[in-house]
Structure 1
Amino acid sequence: MDDTIHAGTDTDSRYVVATYRLRDRADTLEARAEGIAIGLTIGTWTDLPNARKAQVAAHCGRVEGIRVIDEAAPGGVIAEIDIAYPVANLDTTFASLLTTVFGKLSMDGEIRLQRLHLPEDLERAYPGPKFGVSGVRERFGVYGRPLVMSIFKACAGLTLDELVDQFGEQAAGGVDLVKDDEIFFSEVHASAAERVVAYREKAREVAAQTGRETAYAVNLTGPVHQLRDKAKRLAELGAGALLVNVVAYGFDVLADLARDPDISVPILAHPAVSGALYGSPNYGIAADIVLGQLMRLAGADMGIFPSMYGSVTLGGEATEQLLAHLRKDGVHRKVLPAPSAGIYPGLVPQLYRDFGIDLILNAGGGIHGHPGGASMGGQAFFDAISAVQQGQSLQAAAVDKPALAAAIAKWGARA
């Protein structure tokens, strides 16, 4: 049931509008909504003298809509409430945005931030992607097909020579990018700078045989106050991209990196810790806001998120909403999506259908677990891409492509 109790009609560019899904008594929804609008902006209204009311009126939130979507839910009705927050209350940081629309409210029982609408003028105040889809393609020289990215595995505890060997095996498969594992923080055996230099040398060595130089997405780690300088240094040394654990560090950290003109490499956003925000259907913040809308505003050029195919998944509807944020026409460049977990060569036709060509085929086990090793694992993805582009089934293509044949034998193939 969709039973509109109250709806406003005059929301404009002066307001951010947040939509919440909550459970409450039907007869208290209007009071609850008013309490949110005032409580997250000016704190109180009824106790203010008239002169003070006039002074703070421009900073007061207002109720835009109340809709009952399930009146038979146990423990009260399920409703959606739209609250408009004055842009004048914000300072264009993500800290101010998130604290305003969901700060103390996030602790007020069963309530979830479902949607967030920002006016274009406010969106422009955030950096957005420096490269975006077209810039990433230009940088890596990849056109007319998805990018292929291999995930570095078994990093911790290895010497630099061992890491270089592992990088070289992945690069030999022709992958466009090799990214660090997001949990690789230790620099006891090899610093990020040493890895960037050594991997680039190895990439050039491999490229002499393959004709393609693989880029390296290095995990940007360390104290927050050192990240910008470290990012600049890694870019200067030849990093292909920067991997950033955005939710763990904060969206404002990503925005700070994206705004800096001297950090001249694309940023690959990792979703680590984000499940703590979106994991419950009744609490937290919707996944498409966290991994789509905010990531793009903050400056991610490429965005990793759980695919629809693995054991960790967002589901089809959430994925569609997330993609809508990454790809919508707007004030910022579009983001290249990188669905992750459960990606293997036999899935490539399905990935084309679900995402088109503007995506990253991001594989860990689907490359490293190949019976012929990581180089054949990467090759199997390119064999699958070639088959799809030629309108050929993977099984038919595999007849004379041993890497793809072995991948299908191990993991199967979707038609």
Structure 2
Amino acid sequence: MAIDWYNEFVDLNYTPARDDLVVLFYFEPAAGIGREEAVGRIASESSTGTWTTLFTMPPRMKALQATAFEIDGNFVKIAYPVALWEEGNAVQLMSGIAGNIFGMKALKNLRLVDVSFPQAYLKHFKGPHFGNDGIRKMMKVAKRPLTGAVPKPKIGFTAKEHAEIGYETWMGGFDFVKDDENLTSVSFNRFDDRVKLMSKLRDKAEKETGETKSAFLNITADTETMKKRADLLAEYGWNYAMIDVVVAGTSSVMTMRDYCSDLGLAIHAHRAMHASFDRNPKHGITMQFLAKLMRLVGVSQIHSGTAVGKLTGSKKESTVIADVLREKKTKAVGTLLLDQDWGKIRNAFPVSSGGLHPGLVPPVLDIYGTELVLLVSGGIHGHPKGTRAGARATMQAIEAWQEGVTLEEKAKKAKELKGALDKWGHYKPK
């Protein structure tokens, strides 16, 4: 008599239905477990199966089970009937395709690489409120990257000091000033104080430059507190809120997407804690899927790496993540990405940040083009002439790339850029 039924979740002749979600996993079976048994266990545990055969089941169960249909080395594609998933509930989706399966003893390693969402699933989500064109219209920036900086060090300044650094950042030509991931409302820099002081200097900078200025102010907390902080941002005329989306959780991001949209606020998504589950290439969840998930639930932008700065991530990975966020359709890329048609879901910006300075601007733009948010923080505040000169040097580096000239050539007539190159050159932080 059969004890388990994992083999029933594997059919290498199966063709996914139009409405199936297809998930790409990397897997390594534990000792003594065959490949087909391993993928059968993944499909079973993430859908309608359990560890043993059952006495009776309704006939419809067969039509609801997931099917492992393609195995290529250590990669498997599994198709899931759309009926398994609650409409518009990305949290429930994650409980299935990224839930108990990561703890199965039959697997040595398991990594969720990507998911292809059918229109039948996508239609229940709103995606980003503005889309990239809407953000550009809001900021009145057309043909260059959007730019921003974090006051550095990332935490320690008073609200007044933070706002003053922000003013210098704006006056150097940058669009945004950004809180970093661990600055929320601390004893020496309360959120309410920071909002009020930043608002006053934003208005001053806009009047003096004639440009639109904004900030990514970090509202991350419990959901009710985030709502109150979003209300304050709207009251003071801001157009963005920042959330640490991984630590806050998918459910709170879903709630805040609608709440912020009603207030006219875009969401800047910081990915703090992502590397705890995406850095190991053999286990966890990929950054490209996290980016896809956040576009689905509706953030306007999310950090995606630089490939040339201080954080991990290759050029290919950064490009893939950028495409997932920006493109209406993406084609499969080897074992990194599946086909995806986003339908009516608007796009979002990739955010390049982490160890950048003016000398690294051209290689970042070679990877991303101009459709990104470029954050250069320590690389402006460390400029020999200060924050304002550092921001100007970065804007000059962007101009050089757009003009097709080297930074050294541009620096002959751009003293701020020359000062940056004299200090950092093209150094890549480690």
Q: Percent identity?
A: 28
Matched residue, 2:284: 284
Q: Is the 8 A contact 1:246 1:271 kept in 2?
A: yes
Shift of 1:295: 1.6
Matched residue, 1:30: 36
Shift of 1:193: 3.1
Matched residue, 2:404: 391
Pairing of 1:296-307 with structure 2 (within 5 A): 296-307=295-306
Q: Normalising by structure 1, what TM-score?
A: 0.89
CA distance in 1, matches of 2:126, 2:254: 6
Matched residue, 1:366: 379
Q: Is the 8 A contact 2:359 2:420 kept in 1?
A: yes
User: Residue 57 and residue 328 in structure 1: after superposition, are their counterparts in 2 closer, same or farther (change >3 A)?
Assistant: same
CA distance in 2, matches of 1:305, 1:389: 22
- Alignment of 1:412 onto 2:412: no
Aligned length: 398
Matched residue, 1:143: 142
Shift of 1:366: 0.9
The SS at the match of 1:32 is helix
- Alignment of 1:16 onto 2:21: yes
Matched AA of 2:61: V
Q: Is the 8 A contact 1:155 1:163 kept in 2?
A: no
Q: Is the 8 A contact 2:66 2:81 kept in 1?
A: yes
Matched residue, 1:100: 96
Write the deviation string for residues 154-195 of structure 1: whole angstroms up to 9, x where unpaired.
Answer: 464543332222222222212100011111023424432332
Consecutive unaligned residues in structure 2, runs of 5 or more: 1-9, 329-341
Matched residue, 1:84: 79
Shift of 1:11: 0.8
Shift of 1:344: 1.3
Q: CA RMSD in A?
A: 2.2
Pairing of 1:266-415 with structure 2 (within 5 A): 266-290=266-290, 292-329=291-328, 330-331=342-343, 332-413=345-426
Q: After the TM superposition, which of the residue ranges 210-219 and 7-16 deviates more from structure 2?
A: 7-16
Q: Normalising by structure 2, what TM-score?
A: 0.86
The SS at the match of 2:69 is strand
The SS at the match of 2:161 is helix
Shift of 1:280: 0.5
Matched AA of 1:40: S
User: Residue 320 and residue 391 in structure 1: after superposition, are their counterparts in 2 closer, same or farther (change >3 A)?
Assistant: closer
CA distance in 2, matches of 1:195, 1:240: 15
Matched residue, 1:72: none
Q: After the TM superposition, which of the residue ranges 38-47 and 234-243 deviates more from structure 2?
A: 38-47
Matched AA of 1:145: R
Write the deviation string for residues 312-345 of structure 1: whole angstroms up to 9, x where unpaired.
Answer: 1211222222122112212311111111112211
Q: Is the 8 A contact 2:24 2:115 kept in 1?
A: yes
Shift of 1:49: 4.7
**Equivalent in 46, 59, 65 of residue 70 of structure 2:** 65
Matched AA of 1:43: G
Matched AA of 1:93: N
User: Residue 263 and residue 58 in structure 1: after superposition, are their counterparts in 2 closer, same or farther (change >3 A)?
Assistant: farther
Shift of 1:293: 0.9
User: Residue 236 and residue 46 in structure 1: after superposition, are their counterparts in 2 closer, same or farther (change >3 A)?
Assistant: same
CA distance in 1, matches of 2:401, 2:78: 46
